[in-house]
A and B are shown apart, each in its own frame.
Chain A
Amino acid sequence: MAIDPEAQFHVLAVDDSLIDRKLIERLLKTSSYQVTTVDSGSKALELLGLREDQDVSSPSSPDKNEIEVNLVITDYCMPGMTGYDLLKKMKGSSSLKDIPVVIMSSENVPSRINRCLEGGAEEFFLKPIQLSDLIRLRPYMLKGKLKEQQPSQHQETNSAISSSSNNNSKSNKRKAMDEGLSPEKTRPRFSSSSLALVTYEETT
């Protein structure tokens, strides 16, 4: 079943900084995503309707007091619940684990980046986020929609894009990985769930 190319994707952005929330909202809207912003991980979970005692139920269930979200993008450094904590809580929830999570940080700490990717984050962006970064989000949201429509389908077998062929040379998150880690260690960037990457166009 083809995905409507004009399909609206809904992104939940989590950041305790007011300026960064305003920025990410504008970035996402400019990229044609629907956006909801919250200032903490706990508010994000509330919005997502996380109830750890419940099993998977249909996302369109009218009983659930939650919104449908195709991707969560969260800051790492937040008081109380960090972006990593939020990631783990979502991955630990049967109803939320399939929502792709992207983490952003102003600090380039390779161990932190690795930890997040290994914890199930699809991507790790260095701030300030660029419009070109957001183009990378679409494949994750598309994958989510496809999964929804074909629940019994096998995992997509698109090839993982290795970091060496990643021509996003101006991206500072690339530099982040290069500076701190050896080539082998950059592979976790596309670990587990994030291997399915449909082709997308890079803007120059």
Chain B
Amino acid sequence: MALHFSSAHPISALHPLLCFFLHDTYPEMEYASGLQRQLASMKKNLFDQGYLDEQFYQLEELQDESSPNFVEEVVTLFFRDSSRLVANIDQALQKYPQDFRRLDNFMHQLKGSASSIGAAKMKNECTSFREFCNKENREGCLRSFQKVKKEHAVLKQKLENYFQLLKQVGPVDKATHSGN
């Protein structure tokens, strides 16, 4: 996330990221709320940039006192499961002749899981892959799979950062997500 502000401009106390950067001139309470704002901003970016969709909100709706870490648990499960599937697909792509049915089956599973956690970009790349699979286009599959892997890796990093920050600030008020 690129942050840019000019020191020539008056510092607006309302600018969330400025507050974060100037935390050592503010009392601790400001620091904590600055982190919260950073978290909210991070989350907003994930949605605005299309990494996550409304299904992720559904996961949050399901989190409560009886299941306080539900979202992180599901996401952790997803990356464990999806990493295994990605490895399987990688292996299957090496084989000759190509078993497109098997590939499609793996990708169907991967797409399903991605969809279940709201991983929008990943889901879209999985759809592209399956289209190449249906046409038995090996080159297309290989190219598409690189994109799937990239989206997988990027999302993993972003969500790791998100949950790390979440731990620091404590649970974010559900009302802070956009669209509420």
Name A residues whose Cβ lies closer than 8 Å to a Cβ of B: 17-20, 22-23, 26-27, 29-30, 77, 106, 127-128, 130-131
| Contact of A20 with B58 at beta-carbon distance under 8 Å, contacts A26-B67, A26-B70, A77-B108 already known | no
| Contact of A106 with B74 at beta-carbon distance under 8 Å, contacts A26-B67, A130-B58 already known | no
Interchain CA distance A23-B77 in the complex, whole Å: 11
The answer to whether B62 and A17 have CB atoms under 8 Å apart is: no
Name the distance in Å between B60's Cβ and chain A's nearest Cβ: 11
Q: Which of B58, B59, B66, B112 is within 8 Å of A106, CB to CB?
A: B112
The answer to whether A19 and B78 have CB atoms under 8 Å apart is: yes
| Contact of A127 with B115 at beta-carbon distance under 8 Å, contacts A19-B74, A23-B74, A26-B67 already known | yes
With A128-B116, A131-B62 given, can you name 7 additional A-B contacts, CB distance below 8 Å?
A17-B81, A18-B77, A19-B81, A23-B59, A26-B70, A30-B62, A106-B111
Mostly helix, strand, loop or mixed at chain A's interface?
A: helix
The answer to whether A19 and B62 have CB atoms under 8 Å apart is: no
Interface size class, chain B: 20 to 34
A-B contact pairs, 5 of them (CB 8 A): A19-B74, A19-B78, A127-B115, A128-B118, A131-B62
The answer to whether A27 and B116 have CB atoms under 8 Å apart is: no
B residues less than 8 Å from A22 (CB atoms): 73-74, 77
Interface bits B60-85 vs A (CB < 8 Å: 1, else 0)? 01101011001001100110010000
Interchain CA distance A18-B55 in the complex, whole Å: 17
Name the distance in Å between A29's Cβ and chain B's nearest Cβ: 8
| Contact of A18 with B112 at beta-carbon distance under 8 Å, contacts A30-B62, A130-B58 already known | no
The answer to whether A27 and B62 have CB atoms under 8 Å apart is: yes
The answer to whether B113 and A20 have CB atoms under 8 Å apart is: yes
Name the distance in Å between A173's Cβ and chain B's nearest Cβ: 14
The answer to whether B58 and A19 have CB atoms under 8 Å apart is: no
| Contact of A18 with B67 at beta-carbon distance under 8 Å, contacts A127-B116, A128-B55 already known | no
The answer to whether B58 and A128 have CB atoms under 8 Å apart is: yes
Query: Does B19 interact with chain A (Cβ within 8 Å)?
Result: no
The answer to whether B74 and A20 have CB atoms under 8 Å apart is: no
Closest 6 CB pairs of A and B: A106-B112, A26-B62, A19-B113, A128-B116, A128-B55, A19-B116
B residues less than 8 Å from A106 (CB atoms): 108, 111-112, 115
Query: Does B176 interact with chain A (Cβ within 8 Å)?
Result: no
